[in-house]
Amino acid sequence: MTLVVAGAAAVYTLRIADDCLVLSHRLAQWSSWAPTLEDDVALTNIALDLLGQARVMYARTAELDGTGRSEDDYAFMRDEREFVNCLLVEQENGDFATTIVRQLLCSTYQLAQWQALTSSTDEQVAAIAGKAVKESAYHRDHATDWTLRLGDGTEESHRRMGSALAALWPFTAELFESDAVTRDAAGLGIGPDPDALRPAWDAYIKRALSDATLTVPETTWRPTGGRQGLHTEPFGYMLAEMQHLHRSFPGVTW
């Protein structure tokens, strides 16, 4: 498996790419199903931004791991255990409140990560981050606006946001885990120590939730394993759907 033989830099960029790809696909599933036409377009555009970020990070990963694989190879020709995205991005869309809470938690983390990566010693990663910061800032703003509308809205919308937050909050712990890969990447100056992103993430999330009359859940459950290729059951179904056409007609050109 790639994550065994590749160096820390390649695994680190692969993790970022997988986060972006999987979250992109989840948001793309809202196309034509969003509650308003404006948000149908907004979620699709956010998904496209994330897909673009995934593509350039896969391209950089191919250079770092020396495999010469294409973006399609990474996206469509790997099995479930070879994906190293965090568990949070693969959680099912659920209702609109669940999608918004997931997006708030993810985009706040991604923005902090991209901001730190603008100072990466890897010049290509730093250049990618420079563009991604602007996109992720919009992603976070969109999620924040909806968090305020739903959290401080009707009794029903508040209840749904609270339920979504309780279900998704435990998965946020994995975002800030450090391991040999992140320590090596930080030591080389390629990326930040994940734990260093926590203060800014905590401050923004707590402020946004407070403004939306929501509270941070209290839990000791900390699901983990995504970075090592261990995923939740819904991810397998999502991956099968996403890869079906490509695997059914390998090598075909359109």
In angstroms, the CA 251 to CA 254 distance is 10
What percent of the chain shows pLDDT beyond 70? 98
pLDDT of 180: 96
Q: Each residue of 58-83: pLDDT tens digit?
A: 999 999 999 989 999 999 999 999 99
In angstroms, the CA 50 to CA 47 distance is 5
In a domain, 118, yes or no: yes
> Looking at the predicted structure, is the pLDDT value of residue 250 above 70?
yes
In angstroms, the CA 48 to CA 29 distance is 12
pLDDT band with cut points at 50, 70 and 90 for residue 232:
very high
In a domain, 237, yes or no: yes
> Looking at the predicted structure, is the pLDDT value of residue 1 above 50?
no
pTM: 0.95
Q: Which of 131, 89, 130 is nearest to 109 (CA)?
A: 89
> Looking at the predicted structure, is the pLDDT value of residue 168 above 90?
yes
In a domain, 203, yes or no: yes
In angstroms, the CA 139 to CA 42 distance is 9
Q: What angle do CA 210, 141, 18 make, to 5 degrees?
A: 105
In a domain, 162, yes or no: yes
Question: Which range marks the domain in which residue 77 is found?
Answer: 2-248
In a domain, 254, yes or no: no
User: Total domain count for the chain?
Assistant: 1
Which two tokens mark 33? 């199903």
In a domain, 232, yes or no: yes
> Looking at the predicted structure, is the pLDDT value of residue 2 above 80?
no
In a domain, 184, yes or no: yes
Maximum alpha-carbon separation in the chain: 54
CATH of residue 81's domain is 1.20.1260.10
Q: Which of 112, 111, 96, 141 is nearest to 50 (CA)?
A: 111
In a domain, 83, yes or no: yes
Between helix 198-211 and helix 96-117 the angle, nearest 10°, is 150
List of residues 6+ apart from 92 with CB closer than 8 A:
26, 98, 234
Q: Each residue of 108-156: pLDDT tens digit?
A: 999 999 999 999 999 999 999 999 999 999 999 999 999 999 999 999 9
**CB hemisphere CA count around 237 (13 angstroms):** 6
Average pLDDT estimate for 15-24: 98
Alpha helices in the chain (DSSP H): 2-5, 8-28, 37-65, 71-76, 96-117, 123-151, 155-168, 180-187, 198-211, 233-248
